[in-house]
Structure 1
């Protein structure tokens, strides 16, 4: 079947899949690391519209905005300003490439702790910045912190959650990202009129970092990670805690040990193993899913929504409030995703979200073209500016139930244990390098493409939706240890994944 939407007969391991209080607490604490990424996404765009911040670091932008004839698309076109935003993602790219080995050596939980600590230091530096180098250094440290947490957290959630509810628990990471965006928007709105407001906005990044880091001390690492590092007794205790004290965890522990032995028996470097032909489907997804997520344009809208809304005539306060509204819409749509992702599946959400986002991007482009003229020099009416906001709300909702949470979930659940951290590292690195390029070029592209920038992202949304329809099989409810089966039954990927290759990776008790 061309779409790959088939039923998969997966082995039933019989292990307890119930939700316990320990799992709920562990997943909430781990997912709260999304606050770090979300807070930064939400805070950056608002701070870059604050006059005291621009006066101190980027006075040229204020002079440009005061010009007699202003092209609404080009007011904020400054490479140094975009470097302030995008330097974090370049640092995140570098740290994510090393995070694979760190996650394997220290475990998922300790990597989250490390990321939170580094992020805390970076937030402190940004809040006290006196010059651009100090500002950029703080951003780089924030990037290192986010690189580690974005690597470890999706793995933690996918490994500790029961297979039946893995989608919902993993979506918690994107939920906290969205909460961070909304909180940042509210803080920007409250501090914008004060000369020291930008310091408060940037410096308060230490709060989510401190909350997450302290919370991480209360949870244990995943049983898979503990077994991988040879801590069998700790893994047994972690399983008892997660499954319930009355549950016999020995069969599950034995299977984890067997999987770990299989992983360790492969002497080849994981970064070489992952490029073997039989892992081609997972490798393609590790590149494609995070790449496509960024090509929806969502983070660009989040970074620069205050700049964008102020440019199209909503005013400074209204622009900041509009960014809060977009964040709130994202949170609401994520709740929808959490409720239905394990019922309707990943593909359904991807496809419906893609259709919604495409229609909204085209509508925004047409509206801006008609309202501001081909060159963007005509003044847009308040009613049309509000309509742009409404369309972007629908666009954000489409992202919130699809590419938002699922782009973290898919890469974290499709790889076998022996290359899981490596696969996740590649996925996060791809995400960071793409978002770095886009954030560094968006304001310039907006200046040159004008309303066509939204058509650019709309075209990519068509491409990614077609990719999902034809190349992503459904992973709903499939245990991580059985995920190999979906590729061998897919119309396209089965040519790469032979049955013999799958059997080589199976514990002896799985058939």
Structure 2
């Protein structure tokens, strides 16, 4: 059918067209992953060059997360007022500024400031990508298309780690003065300029969200986007959207999230819980500190970066598995299996590191302990990548009603970044006490996640966005 056909009959759309639009939005996820992981190869060099202790080094790594939480907190309201596309462009500008600032930093506090600037972009991208993809996707493909966000994130992590490894390989070490008189670790940050520019340019080529357009009274434009990208019964979808955005304020406020239970709507608390538990199982410790961690137990810097790259490839492969399963198996079963698997793997790591002898202040993995730890760490990434990584972002993009989606997603994403900050900041101090303690804490939260999914998560597979209600459970499907 032509794009002008908005009759009551169903409209089918070429899925390739929708994939291209979703993939463009997901580039924000690529920069999200790249920006947060690129510091992995620079951690030791930053500590050496700026003479930082464990606490200050942890802050330099996690300072971006402060910006992430702030960016996520405000992104929803900005998107509701000015549109999803403008938020993407703003995020791209922030990524570029951060890349240049970090690459030319003259001290740890200067570096931390520019990391926060990049964090603002990451936070905004983490909110806008899942919301936008959910709003332009046909219901039957929404899970797979929403998972492109996580695929982009893990691909960004992989490319960042691969870039770090390549730069260290070319320069000899991260602290070596390399191109243009700059140390190798600075080029790790400067490399982000290229994907950030591409993201900003491509964001200007995709259509605005039909849900946003209808909320702003632009019905004709919304119908055109629905016809070209969402399909189905466009007239009915338009009518349903109009009904679900009734009462939505022109200037979005957090007051629309208020409920009777602890000040927020129950569904918002579920989103916050999913976000916090995704982080409290320690996934980002693997990506922020893994090269340093493996060096601490005896691997060389180059070998440690290589192991980290392999881990990120594992994450990509398992995300592909999640994309294949999410619309067939459903969101809740994947989360449940993932939580169980993470619990077992983390428990193994906790036991191994707790039992490892300490030599010169560092744990030494003897005999089979080293290979078992490597296997457990990578299996943990497998379970995370096939479940909690992509599924949480898909759920956050679709579990809220049209009336509160962008603002509620902002709150949930901000909680996720705050949790990420807590985990990333505390890890160096916990590791100083003992890696067994650190992984023991993450094991506990993986155990909590199992029961949280069973009790509070509701399946959204196959439901339209208009069937999502503020109470937490989708309304029954009709017909």
1:218 and 2:205 matched: yes
255, 259, 272: which one aligns with 2:255: 272
Alignment of 1:215-254 (within 5 A): 215-243=202-230, 249-254=234-239
Structure 1 contact 91–144 (Cα < 8 Å) conserved: yes
Alignment partners' CA distance in 2, 1:269 and 1:169:
27
Counterpart Cα distance in 2 of 1:484 and 1:418: 9
Which has the higher mean CA deviation after the structures are superposed, 301-310 or 227-236?
A: 227-236
SS at match of 2:365: coil
Q: Taking structure 1 as reference, are residues 82 and 403 closer, same or farther at Cα in structure 2, changes over 3 Å only?
A: same
- Partner residue in 2 for 1:131: 107
Cα displacement (A) at 1:232: 2.4
| Deviation sequence 1:109-149 (CA, Å, 0-9, x none) | 22111111111111111112222233122111101111111
Residue 388 (structure 1) aligns with: 373
Q: Which residue of 1 aligns with 2:456?
A: 471
Q: CA 1:381 to 1:486, structure 2 compared with 1: closer, same or farther past 3 Å?
A: same
TM-score (norm 2): 0.89
| The one of 427, 440, 446 aligned to 1:442 | 427
Alignment of 1:24 with 2:8, yes or no, is no
- Contact residue 285 and residue 411 of structure 1 kept, 8 A: no
Q: Distance in 1 between matches of 2:107 and 2:138?
A: 48
3-state DSSP class of the match of 1:451?
A: helix
Give the direction of change, closer, same or farther, for the CA distance of 1:33–1:268 in structure 2 (3 Å limit): closer
Q: How far does residue 171 in structure 1 lie from its aligned partner after superposition?
A: 0.7
RMSD of aligned alpha carbons: 2.6
Describe the SS at the equivalent of 1:130: coil
Question: Secondary structure of 1:32's match?
Answer: helix
Shift of 1:215: 1.3
Sort the Cα spacing of 1:375 and 1:426 in 2 relative to 1 into closer, same or farther, 3 A: farther
**Equivalenced residues, count:** 459
8 A Cα contact 1:57 1:132, kept in partner: yes
Q: Which moved more, 1:161-170 or 1:40-49?
A: 40-49
Structure 1 residue 239, shift from structure 2 partner? 2.1
User: How do residues 109-120 of structure 1 correspond to structure 2 at under 5 angstroms?
Assistant: 109-120=85-96
- Give deviations 1:161-197, integer Å, cap 9, x for gaps: 1111211111110111100111111111111224321
Distance 1:375 1:286 in 2: 43
SS in 1 for 2:274: helix
Counterpart CA distance in 1 for 2:340 and 2:331 is: 15
Report the CA distance between 1:252 and its aligned residue.
2.6
Unaligned 5+ residue runs, structure 2? 1-7, 178-182
Q: CA deviation at 1:447?
A: 1.1
Q: Contact conserved, 1:309 with 1:385, CA < 8 A, in 2?
A: no
Unaligned runs of 5+ in 1: 1-12, 61-76, 490-501
Aligned equivalent of 1:263: 247
Structure 1 distance, partners of 2:70, 2:279, is 18
Once residues 200 and 488 of structure 1 are traced to their aligned partners in structure 2, the CA distance between those partners, rounded to angstroms, is: 48
The answer for the alignment partner of 1:6 in structure 2 is none
Retained in 2: the 8 A contact 1:291–1:430? yes
Partners in 2 of 1:378 and 1:304 — Cα distance?
Answer: 15
For 1:316-465, list aligned pairs within 5 A: 316-372=301-357, 377=362, 379-381=364-366, 384-465=369-450
Tell me if the contact between 2:138 and 2:229 (Cα under 8 Å) persists in the aligned partners.
no
| Alignment map for 1:66-81 (pairs within 5 Å) | 78-81=54-57
CA contact (8 A) 1:31 1:173 kept: yes
3-state DSSP of counterpart to 1:318? helix
Q: Distance in 2 between matches of 1:165 and 1:383?
A: 44
Distance 1:169 1:378 in 2: 42
For residue 105 of structure 2, give the secondary structure of its aligned residue in structure 1.
coil
Report the secondary structure of 2:460's partner residue: coil
What displacement does 1:40 show?
A: 2.1
- The answer to whether residue 43 in structure 2 is matched with residue 43 in structure 1 is no
Question: Once the 2 structures are TM-superposed, how far is the Cα of residue 255 of structure 1 from its aligned partner?
Answer: 3.0
Aligned residue for 1:301?
A: 286
State the distance in 1 between where 2:354 and 2:58 align.
Answer: 25
Q: In structure 1, what is the Cα distance between the partners aligned to 2:323 and 2:359?
A: 41
Report deviation, 1:251: 3.4
Q: Which residue of 1 aligns with 2:84?
A: 108
3-state SS, counterpart of residue 59 of structure 2: helix
| CA–CA distance in structure 2, aligned partners of residues 47 and 36 of structure 1 | 17
Offset at 1:270? 4.1
Quote the Cα distance in structure 2 between the aligned partners of 1:267 and 1:207.
Answer: 36
Aligned partners of 2:331 and 2:391 also within 8 Å:
yes
- In structure 1, C-alpha distance between the alignment counterparts of 2:200 and 2:317, rounded to whole Å: 26
* Residue pair 2:81, 2:250 contacting (<8 A) in 1 also: no
Q: Distance in 2 between matches of 1:462 and 1:348?
A: 16
> CA offsets per residue over residues 339-359 of structure 1, 9 Å max, x none?
001101111111111111111
Summarize the Cα distance change of 1:378–1:104 in structure 2 as closer, same or farther, 3 Å threshold: closer
